[in-house]
């Protein structure tokens, strides 16, 4: 059997596989996270690795340049291993050191806004799993109710618990437990469906805390918080890449993977469960607790993620008329899904509204309380889709504007996520065109992340290198601007300064993709306003959610026409509201009920519907300029 020696910076990993094994599969099995934007279809060119020694079988070479082929570059997804090989994994091909935005980091970086702190303070503790101390009357020949009726009577005397049920394991132990503890007990109640279930009985002096987890299932990254259910305190946080990334970068790529591969759905389902369990392993180890101490869980994520989490075929999500199998997911028990918490622990997934507005957005609306305010608020979550919500206490309208993954580096030649070595800031000298930049973790540059791309477009336009339609100015001449096959490109970093063996460039096509993405988001905002017969001036506050949002410079975003031209003090970064809403729901039954009301209340605007599509297309086309064709919409930046 061939042995693969993987070389990663200073690390070496040895892996044995069968002859004919797909190299991408081997990389994944060896625990290395490799970029795979197209999910192994051979079209994105992001899974490049270098064969240093040994022969491989190349099924396709994609767009690898002759120079790279000479150096031994292959596409891992299009390569079979047939003998012992040494494979170098270059940094630009790896998914590593991503800035997974967790609350702890926010505090470190003083990014936690006043608004976020207020949100945390507003929760009145009434968790979905709680304990009640009871002292029951001892039975007599006259007071002869069954043990379970006696327990229910005791509980209902303390509080009204409609529809109480009890698990079989509790009933099995009930008689001896009550008698052994002299009719005193601590009863643990778990929210199941719409009712509470007697889930555990403990001795009156039992002191071990109960924990719950709140989890944001992002398409790219996942973040988990371990929470003490008695105090509401967040005791540990952990973040990881969603392991589904190896099967495609965005939701459509993953839906396609599930459709096109016999075991695709199983693999995607298992990948998300494995990621969750790894996050649980991490917090359990950090806090030295048992898995069974985690009694319940609340998850929030987009609709594709909810389907893959449940192992349900997501294919109809991408097919007109875009109908998901489920928006409101009934609670399930942990062992049904293989989640490593208490086996009978109840799992809740926050409800979605449509195929492209999921539980992460209803969770965000809950966390930011925009459905409770008098003033009109715009909520923007810029990820791979661009989900938007507009409204107040009387109405909420939402849409998803297919922005694509450009701001996460997708479709941009040297685009990348916010990882070490990503350029996040540019400055271009107006006279000499000398470029200054800064990278994440001050590592040699290997690409440009979303916030860097926004800054770059704004700056290229400002210094007159590109015009308002994103094309290089015809009279601009400089050694950095050069022609290549079918393309014009501008060199951002020369090879000598780069952390990769080539120049880092931005092409006219990249700029077009970025303008498309930002145009889709801005057009979505305009469509929601028009449907409510409003203009930008009615927006009192703009809340920018999501990890990426925290790194956007508002002035640059307005300059390129991504965000509306409103005063800067109207913009607030609200961080990972998906996680915050999940945490609030875990700690408060009232909030948990509210998120269901929010999902019912939100009106989904389908931008591709017949009555909207032409108008959306007009808005979209107008918004693909810097900042827009209608400059009166951006008076402060033009």
Intra-chain end-to-end CA distance of the chain, in Å: 64
For residues 538 and 395, what is the distance between their CA atoms, to the nearest angstrom? 14
For residues 21 and 85, what is the distance between their CA atoms, to the nearest angstrom? 12
Shortest reach from residue 572's CB to ligand FES, in Å: 37
Instruction: Confirm or reject binding of residue 46 to ligand FES (CB under 6 A).
Output: yes
Quick one: which of 27, 28, 32, 36 contacts ligand FES (CB under 6 A)?
36
Instruction: Confirm or reject binding of residue 62 to ligand FES (CB under 6 A).
Output: yes
Give the helix/strand (H/E) hosting 221. strand 221-228
Q: Which of residues 287-306 bind ligand FES (CB under 6 A)?
A: none
Residue in this structure with the two tokens 């993987």, named with its chain if needed: 6
Contact 453, 405 (CB under 8 A): no
**DSSP alpha helix (H) spans, 487-609:** 508-531, 554-559, 577-587, 589-601
Contact 244, 327 (CB under 8 A): no
* Rg of the chain taking only CA atoms, in angstroms: 27
Instruction: Confirm or reject binding of residue 253 to ligand FES (CB under 6 A).
Output: no
What does DSSP assign to residue 495? G
Instruction: Confirm or reject binding of residue 44 to ligand FES (CB under 6 A).
Output: yes
Which of the ranges 34-42, 366-374, 434-442, 483-491 carries the binding residues for ligand FES, by CB under 6 A?
Answer: 34-42
Q: Which of residues 547-586 bind ligand FES (CB under 6 A)?
A: none
Select 127 or 405, whichever has its Cβ closest to ligand FES: 405
With CB under 6 A, what is the number of residues at the site for ligand FES? 14
Contact 543, 367 (CB under 8 A): no
Q: Which token pair is 106? A: 């926010």
Instruction: Confirm or reject binding of residue 42 to ligand FES (CB under 6 A).
Output: yes
Give the helix/strand (H/E) hosting 460. helix 450-462
Select 72 or 209, whichever has its Cβ closest to ligand FES: 72
Q: Which token pair is 205? A: 């002096």
Contact letters for ligand FES, residues 385-424 (x by CB under 6 A): ----------------------------------------
Instruction: Confirm or reject binding of residue 87 to ligand FES (CB under 6 A).
Output: no
Shortest reach from residue 61's CB to ligand FES, in Å: 10
Q: Which of residues 65-84 bind ligand FES (CB under 6 A)?
A: 75, 77
Select 22 or 302, whichever has its Cβ closest to ligand FES: 22
Quick one: which of 6, 17, 27, 40 contacts ligand FES (CB under 6 A)?
40
For residues 563 and 536, what is the distance between their CA atoms, to the nearest angstrom? 11
Which of the ranges 41-49, 81-89, 320-328, 616-624 carries the binding residues for ligand FES, by CB under 6 A?
Answer: 41-49
Instruction: Confirm or reject binding of residue 271 to ligand FES (CB under 6 A).
Output: no
Give the helix/strand (H/E) hosting 69. helix 66-71
Instruction: Confirm or reject binding of residue 32 to ligand FES (CB under 6 A).
Output: no
For residues 82 and 22, what is the distance between their CA atoms, to the nearest angstrom? 10
Instruction: Confirm or reject binding of residue 38 to ligand FES (CB under 6 A).
Output: yes
Select 331 or 415, whichever has its Cβ closest to ligand FES: 415
Helices 508-531, 450-462: inter-axial angle, 10-degree rounding? 100
Which of the ranges 10-18, 31-39, 86-94, 315-323 carries the binding residues for ligand FES, by CB under 6 A?
Answer: 31-39
Select 25 or 230, whichever has its Cβ closest to ligand FES: 25
For residues 480 and 462, what is the distance between their CA atoms, to the nearest angstrom? 17
Four-residue CA torsion sign, 459, 421, 274, 116: negative
Quick one: which of 45, 154, 358, 452 contacts ligand FES (CB under 6 A)?
45
Contact footprint for ligand FES (CB under 6 A): 36-38, 40-47, 62, 75, 77
């Amino acid at each position: 059997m061939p042995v693969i020696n993987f070389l990663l910076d200073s690390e070496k990993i040895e892996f044995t596989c069968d002859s004919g094994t797909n190299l991408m599969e081997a990389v994944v099995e060896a625990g290395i996270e490799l970029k795979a934007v197209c999910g192994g279809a051979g079209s994105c060119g992001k899974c490049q690795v270098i064969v240093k020694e040994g022969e491989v079988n190349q099924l396709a070479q994609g767009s690898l340049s002759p120079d790279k082929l000479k150096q031994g570059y292959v596409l891992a997804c299009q390569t079979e291993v047939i003998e012992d090989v040494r494979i170098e994994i270059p940094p630009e091909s790896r998914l590593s050191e991503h800035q997974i935005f967790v609350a702890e980091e926010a505090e470190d970086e003083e990014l936690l806004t006043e608004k976020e702190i207020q949100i945390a303070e507003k929760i009145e503790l009434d968790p979905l799993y709680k304990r009640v101390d009871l002292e029951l009357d001892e039975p007599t020949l006259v007071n002869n109710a069954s043990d379970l009726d006696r327990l229910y009577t005791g509980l209902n005397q303390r509080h009204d618990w409609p529809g109480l049920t009890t698990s079989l394991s509790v009933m099995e132990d009930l008689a001896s437990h009550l008698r052994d503890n002299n009719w005193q007990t601590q009863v643990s109640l778990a929210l199941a469906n719409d009712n509470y279930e007697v889930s555990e009985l403990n001795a009156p002096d039992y002191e071990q805390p109960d924990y719950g987890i709140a989890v944001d299932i992002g398409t790219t990254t996942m973040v988990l918080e371990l929470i003490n259910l008695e105090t509401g305190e967040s005791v540990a946080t952990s973040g990881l890449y969603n392991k589904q990334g190896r099967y495609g970068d965005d939701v459509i790529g993953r839906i396609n993977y599930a459709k096109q591969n016999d075991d695709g759905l199983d693999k995607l389902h298992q990948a998300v469960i494995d990621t969750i369990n790894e996050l649980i392993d991490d917090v359990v180890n950090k806090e030295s607790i048992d898995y069974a101490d985690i009694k319940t869980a609340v998850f929030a994520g987009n609709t594709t993620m909810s389907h893959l989490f449940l192992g349900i075929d997501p294919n109809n999500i991408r097919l007109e008329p875009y109908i998901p199998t489920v928006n409101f997911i009934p609670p399930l028990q942990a062992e049904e899904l293989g989640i490593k918490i208490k086996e009978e622990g109840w799992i809740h997934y926050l409800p979605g509204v449509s195929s492209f507005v999921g539980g992460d957005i209803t969770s965000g609306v809950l966390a930011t309380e925009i459905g409770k305010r008098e003033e009109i608020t715009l909520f923007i979550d810029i990820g791979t889709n661009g989900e938007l919500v507009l409204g107040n206490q009387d109405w909420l309208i939402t849409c998803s504007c297919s922005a694509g993954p450009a701001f996460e580096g997708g479709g941009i030649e040297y685009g990348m996520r916010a990882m070490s070595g990503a350029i996040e800031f540019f400055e271009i000298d107006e006279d000499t065109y000398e470029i200054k930049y800064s990278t994440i973790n001050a590592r040699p540059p290997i690409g440009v992340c979303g916030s860097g791309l926004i800054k770059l477009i704004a700056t290229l336009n400002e210094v007159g290198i590109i015009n308002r339609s994103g094309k290089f100015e015809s009279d601009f001449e400089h050694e950095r601007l050069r022609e290549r096959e079918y393309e014009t490109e501008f060199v951002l970093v020369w090879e000598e300064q780069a952390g990769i063996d080539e120049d880092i460039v931005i092409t006219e096509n990249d700029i077009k993709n970025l303008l498309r993405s930002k145009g889709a988001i801005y057009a979505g905002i305009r469509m929601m306003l028009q449907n409510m017969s409003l203009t930008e001036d009615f927006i009192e506050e703009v809340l920018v959610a999501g990890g990426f949002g925290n790194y956007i410079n508002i002035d640059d975003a307005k300059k390129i026409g991504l965000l509306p031209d409103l005063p800067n003090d109207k913009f607030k970064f609200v961080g990972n509201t998906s996680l915050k809403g999940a945490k609030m729901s875990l700690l408060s039954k009232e909030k948990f009920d509210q998120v269901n009301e929010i999902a019912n209340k939100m009106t989904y605007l389908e931008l591709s519907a017949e009555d909207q599509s032409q108008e959306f297309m007009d808005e979209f086309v107008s918004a693909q300029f810097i900042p827009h064709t209608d400059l009166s919409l951006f008076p402060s930046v033009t």
